[in-house]
């Protein structure tokens, strides 16, 4: 078992990265802020290349097909999917694998029948003490990834159920310098005096722009797996093993080829992976083998079938519609 190889309360991993080509790269940016730069007490200029939030999304995506389903290798893992019918009749398929906030998505947890069943399994009511063992068992039953990546069930009877991430990650760079450049979007009509008859938006004319990339003395990726947190969930040993294997499998999938963060931020490993808490990070093949064994062992703890499929109708968002009317 993978869990038996872990000797600490945390498995910490870090590795140095480098741009696939050249020296420049583009970090994550934030509205009204831009790149997140900061300075250490010793004066070293630092840069957040990829945030914990973004890395959580990337880790989640490692086991999802382009169609939004679980990859075939992990068929049998619990999650919730729903078919949402729009007012005009079109149906949209979403799931806890793809929706922001996972099980806490309003498009999923707002299903009254499912919400009631979840609360029953979790032995949860608004005015009683939280039974975390039952809550964690219910989360594992319906959506393993909600346990691994955390959630806040703000829409469920008082919003008392909060579960922190058990797996987190980020990428940062040290000794950074700006690499400022620019360009121009060119068109046959430089002044924008002409427009297409079907598009009145102000998207015409030549548009010059400035671009800020960065260079760095070092770029490093970090992962933190809270093994003590997994053991404290009160779940059976088989479930703990599955969560551990799934987390490390996602980490390995990222490191083995999931580091093309943006067009101008294509990174690769430089050197070995430093591991604390276990001897070494197992290969992707070994982790998958252990994971499939754990999936079979955990079948009694999942919903039957493992994919809970719901169906709901969508309506027009009144607040959004009112705001659009005010703008008009």
* pLDDT of 189: 86
Say what the pLDDT of residue 87 is. Answer: 92
**pLDDT digit string, tens, across residues 163-187:** 999 999 999 999 999 999 988 888 8
Total structural domains in the chain?
Answer: 1
What pLDDT is stored for residue 145 in this prediction? 96
Confidence at residue 270, expressed as pLDDT on a 0 to 100 scale:
95
Contact 97, 70 (CB under 8 A): yes
Give the model's confidence band at 209: pLDDT under 50 very low, under 70 low, under 90 confident, else very high.
confident
Query: What residues make up the domain containing 113?
Result: 3-185+205-315
Task: Let me know if residue 200 belongs to a domain.
Answer: no
Q: In this predicted model, what pLDDT tens digit does every residue of 273-302 receive, in sequence order?
A: 999 999 999 999 999 999 999 999 999 999
pTM for the whole thing? 0.91
DSSP string, 234-296: ---HHHHHHHHHHHHHHHHHHHTT--EEETTEEEEE-SPPEEESSS-PPPHHHHHHHHHHHHH
Confirm whether 42 is domain-assigned: yes
Dump pLDDT digits (tens) for 68-104: 899 999 999 999 999 999 999 999 999 999 999 999 9
Cα 9 to chain center, whole Å? Answer: 23
Residue 115 included in any domain: yes
Residues contacting 257, CB < 8 A, separation 6+: none
Task: Kindly state whether residue 196 falls inside one of the protein's structural domains.
Answer: no
Give percent above pLDDT 70 in the chain. 97
Residue 324 lies in a domain: no
| 215 in any annotated domain | yes
Residue 240 inside a domain? The answer is yes
The answer to whether residue 321 sits within a structural domain is no
Per the CB < 8 A criterion, the answer to whether 144 and 230 are in contact is no
Q: Cis link prior to 63 (omega < 30° from 0)?
A: no
pLDDT above 60 for 328: no
Task: Scan for tokens 């990834």, then name that residue.
Answer: 145
Judging by DSSP bridges, how do beta strands 274-276 and 265-269 pair with one another?
A: unpaired
Kindly report the backbone phi and psi dihedral angles of residue 311, in degrees, each rounded to the nearest multiple of 5, phi listed first: -150, 130
Per-chain mean pLDDT for the chain: 93
């Amino acid at each position: 078992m993978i869990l038996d190889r872990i000797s600490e309360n945390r498995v910490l991993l870090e590795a140095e990265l480098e741009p696939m080509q050249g020296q420049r790269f583009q970090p994550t940016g934030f509205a009204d802020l831009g790149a997140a730069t900061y300075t250490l007490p010793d004066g070293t200029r630092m840069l957040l290349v990829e945030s914990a939030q973004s890395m959580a999304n990337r880790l989640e995506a490692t086991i999802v097909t382009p169609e939004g389903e679980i990859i075939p290798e992990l068929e049998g893992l619990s999650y919730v999917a729903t078919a949402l019918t729009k007012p005009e009749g079109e149906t949209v398929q979403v799931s806890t694998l793809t929706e922001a906030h996972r099980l806490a998505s309003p498009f999923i947890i707002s299903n009254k029948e499912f919400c009631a069943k979840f609360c029953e399994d979790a032995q949860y009511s608004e005015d009683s003490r939280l039974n975390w063992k039952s809550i964690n068992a219910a989360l594992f039953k319906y959506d393993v990834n909600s346990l691994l990546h955390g959630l806040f069930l703000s829409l469920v009877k008082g919003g008392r159920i909060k579960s922190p991430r058990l797996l987190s990650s980020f990428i940062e760079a040290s000794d950074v310098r700006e690499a400022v450049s620019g360009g121009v979007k060119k068109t046959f009509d430089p002044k924008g005096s002409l427009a297409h008859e079907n598009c009145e938006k102000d998207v015409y004319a030549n548009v010059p722009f400035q671009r800020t990339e960065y260079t760095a003395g070092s770029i490093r990726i970090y992962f933190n797996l809270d093994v003590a947190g997994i053991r404290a969930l009160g779940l059976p040993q088989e479930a703990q093993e599955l969560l551990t294997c799934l987390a490390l499998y996602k980490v390995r999938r990222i490191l083995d080829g999931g580091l093309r963060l943006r067009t101008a931020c294509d990174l690769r490993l430089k050197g070995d992976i430093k591991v604390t808490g276990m001897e070494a990070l197992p290969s992707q093949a070994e982790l998958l083998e252990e994971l499939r064994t754990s999936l079979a062992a955990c079948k009694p703890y999942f919903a039957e079938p493992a994919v809970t499929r719901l169906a709901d109708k969508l309506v027009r968002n009144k607040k959004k519609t009112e705001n659009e009317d005010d703008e008009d």
